[in-house]
Structure formats: C-alpha cells, structure tokens
C-alpha cells in the first residue's frame, strides 16, 4: 500500500481540499510504501512549513497550508502509535525539527 492509499484509508475522512493539499505536499513521497508513512509525512510537513516561513507574509491564504502541516504531523503520530514505545523519542525529534524550521 502506498502512503497516498494509507492516508485515504484513514477515518474519519478529511475534507477533500485538505487531502488534496496533503497529497500535493507529499509529492512523490505519496507513491512510496506506507511502511515509512510517518517519516514521509514529517518530511512533507517540515518542507511545507519551511515554505510558509519563507513567505513575506502569511495571511488567510496560508490557512490550508497550516492545516496540512498539522494534519501531516498528526498522521505521522497515528502511524507511530502502532509502536507506542517510539512515541516519546519521535515527539522530541519532530518538535526539534519543526522548531528549527520556524527559527530558521
């Protein structure tokens, strides 16, 4: 199963526009095997957040992108929750990566 198929199998369904934005942020990662879905989602979230932070201003037009960043991170933790023992380490890693993106 691909990352894209794995995302589309999540319930409850996300709004269609959000799914489309998430898939656009994933880009080619969406066609990779879902066994690394969490890592691909975090990578896409970090990339999208970096893009957002590089914009001269972020008004209402950035709302969908911000929701996509949030959803990608949420999906990553959903994937990691299958092995709860990894969650504390992954949470610290994701916080560090995203904070560095915002601080850059």
Domain boundaries, the chain: 3-103
pLDDT given for residue 103 in this prediction:
73
Tens of pLDDT, residue by residue over 33-91, are: 999 999 999 999 999 999 998 888 777 888 999 999 999 999 999 999 888 898 889 99
Q: In whole angstroms, what is the distance from residue 72 CA to residue 63 CA?
A: 14
DSSP 13: P
The pLDDT of 20-25, averaged and rounded, is 97
Say what the pTM is: 0.91
Residue 33: CB partners within 8 Å, gap ≥ 6? Answer: 1, 2, 3
């Amino acid at each position: 199963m691909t990352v894209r198929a794995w995302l589309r199998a999540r319930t409850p369904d996300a709004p269609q526009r959000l799914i489309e934005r998430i898939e656009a942020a994933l880009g080619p990662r969406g066609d990779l095997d879902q066994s690394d879905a969490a890592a691909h989602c975090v990578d896409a979230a970090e990339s999208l957040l970096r893009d957002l932070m590089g914009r001269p201003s972020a008004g209402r037009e950035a709302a969908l992108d911000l929701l996509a960043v949030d959803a990608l991170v949420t999906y990553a933790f959903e994937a990691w929750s299958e092995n709860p023992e990894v969650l504390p380490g992954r949470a610290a890693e994701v916080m560090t990566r995203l904070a560095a993106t915002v601080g850059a």
